[in-house]
Structure 1
Amino acid sequence: MKKLGLLLMIGMIPVTAFSQRAAKVWESDSLFLKPESALYDSSKKIVYISNINGEYLAKDGNGFISKIKTNGQIEVLKWIDGLDNPQGMALFKNKLYVADINKVLQINTNTSKIEKVYKVDSAKFFNDVTSDANGDIYISDCFDNKIYKISDGEIKVWLESDFLSMPNGLLSRKDEVLVLNMKSRTAFAVNKSTGKAYEIFNGIDNLDGIVPDGGNGLIVSGAWQGEVFHIDSKGKKKLIIDLGKEKIAAADIEYIAEKKLLIVPTLNKTVIGYHLE
């Protein structure tokens, strides 16, 4: 779901020490309706939560975006509503970009208005969104094995490749876009200029959210089994949260490094906050 960070150079950067403990610090009220993605807006000190609120891929107009505080308190439950299946989100300045089946919505966070809709009739399932320092927006089409790009006010296919296998989570990092593949259980880094790619890790089911850990590593989620992993700079995996026994999903996560706060949408009725110690 959306983030900026330092370039991941596998095998060239020393492993950064990272805690292996995650302590639950809050759980929101049970008012959300299939919360799918979380995204922190540092300028406003709030977190956006996308709510599917209906059947997956149904164009029912039930979806909405919420705003919560970093302590889990709901500020506005239905800040932006009338959406279909809002999923991943990205932020560039005061523009929030939301994936919504075959549309990407551009929302002005100052006016709380949808000011532009990028629609692709042939798109099958826009899933995640990430932005870079130039204001370019990348969107995964999970069911059509494509990645789109919004640049200069236009949306076009940016990447089609054999290594794309139900691409879901995206993360922009300097010259690369990191891509999580749900079907092949792999993660790749793709050069923005050349399109050349290399694998950075593999072996996690239902790959969904991907965020920087505040250092040289990553935090990723395996949605349906409720797992959250830390990935170090060499691609080594470490399970840090396992919600499987509670039958809780871990969808498109967010991590606020300065607060050491990991936010987990559960695709049910709540959002959970963890402090990474």
Structure 2
Amino acid sequence: MKKIILILFTTLIPAITFSQNITKIWESDSLFLKPESALYDSSKQVLYISNINGEYLAKDGNGFISMLKTNGKIEVLKWVDGLDNPQGMGLYKKKLYVADLNRVVQINTKTAKIEKVYHVENAIFLNDITTDTNGDIYVSDCFGNKIYKISDGKINVWCESGFLSKPNGLLCTKENLLVLNMQSKTAYAINKLTKKSHQIFSGIDNLDGIVSNGKNGYIVSGAWQGQLFNIDGDGNKKLLIDLGKEKIITADIEYIANDNLLIVPTLDKTVLGFRLTY
């Protein structure tokens, strides 16, 4: 492991180079409490971080959302609290949508107030959220093997097909909804109009987060083993980093393409920032 000293935040911070493509440039303070998901708000130039802060699947009201600067400094630790098990998030026109067990919480990013809650009676474990350019919101139910859609202020089952196998990470593209299946170790693309589907790739354990890499491909996380992969446009996989030996989990990631900055919540107490080069 090669260590390089960089000047950052006006102090000396070690940046660890794991490969020719990815370099750790910062680690946040150890104040987060099971940080699960990261989402960038370009209008504010901040990251939202969901914190479970308790036992998985517990309705305890301990969960909260933090605001993190892109240099790794915590801006507000408990920006919005009172959630149960906040997981994936989506953003559309100053509205932040948070998957919270069997409900989707809508937060006004201007006021930091919860302004609407979508309750889903039959949902078991709502996990990830992605937003479409037209305002549609897609939500995965990992244990219920369903994908829900919020449209025109209502939430309904959008997909319940046999290829869903503990669906976790979601990502909207122009034509498709991309879905990561944790159980079958597969990724699928579902056409948003026809709902026809095809497999993109397979063979990655514990699939969690998926983001565009800004290069006609994707970055995905294999959470529990601490791995990050680059997926090219043909579905070919390349391991970017393996943090398993350090016992670091790579949960629901975010990527800021303009800065080549990859954000990795660890489900422990910190969030990590990596610089990618292609």
Higher radius of gyration, 1 or 2: 2
**What is the DSSP-based 3-state SS (H/G/I as helix, E as strand, rest coil) of the residue aligned with 2:179?**
strand
For 2:22 and 2:157, the matched residues in 1 are separated by 38
2:73 maps to 73
Deviation per residue, 1:50-98 (Å, 9 max, x gap): 0000000000000000000000100000000010000000000100000
Q: In the comparison of the two structures, how many residue pairs are matched?
A: 259
Amino acid at match of 2:224: W
For 1:177 and 1:39, the matched residues in 2 are separated by 18
For 1:240 and 1:20, the matched residues in 2 are separated by 9
2:41 maps to 41
What's the TM-score once normalised by structure 1's chain length? Answer: 0.93
Matched, 1:198 2:198: yes
For 1:126 and 1:250, the matched residues in 2 are separated by 19
1:248 maps to 248
Note the residue ranges of structure 1 that are not aligned, 5 or more in a row.
Answer: 1-18
Amino acid at match of 2:25: V
Matched, 1:222 2:236: no
For 2:95 and 2:180, the matched residues in 1 are separated by 24
- How far 1:174 moved relative to its partner? 1.1
2:137 maps to 137
For 1:53 and 1:133, the matched residues in 2 are separated by 31
Pairing 1:166-205 to 2, within 5 Å after superposition: 166-205=166-205
Amino acid at match of 1:236: N
- How far 1:199 moved relative to its partner? 0.2
2:55 maps to 55
For 1:144 and 1:223, the matched residues in 2 are separated by 20
Pairing 1:105-184 to 2, within 5 Å after superposition: 105-184=105-184
**What is the DSSP-based 3-state SS (H/G/I as helix, E as strand, rest coil) of the residue aligned with 1:258?**
helix
Amino acid at match of 2:40: Y
- How far 1:143 moved relative to its partner? 0.2
Amino acid at match of 2:99: A
Structure of higher RCO (CA pairs closer than 8 Å, 6+ residues apart): 1
**What is the DSSP-based 3-state SS (H/G/I as helix, E as strand, rest coil) of the residue aligned with 2:55?**
coil
Deviation per residue, 1:229-265 (Å, 9 max, x gap): 0000010000001110000000000000000000000
For 2:241 and 2:253, the matched residues in 1 are separated by 12
- How far 1:194 moved relative to its partner? 1.2
For 2:122 and 2:46, the matched residues in 1 are separated by 34
Q: Percent sequence identity over matched residues?
A: 73
Deviation per residue, 1:189-227 (Å, 9 max, x gap): 001111110000000000000000012000000000000
2:211 maps to 211
- How far 1:156 moved relative to its partner? 0.2
Note the residue ranges of structure 2 that are not aligned, 5 or more in a row.
Answer: 1-18
What's the TM-score once normalised by structure 2's chain length? Answer: 0.92
Deviation per residue, 1:158-187 (Å, 9 max, x gap): 000000000000000012100000000000
1:9 maps to none
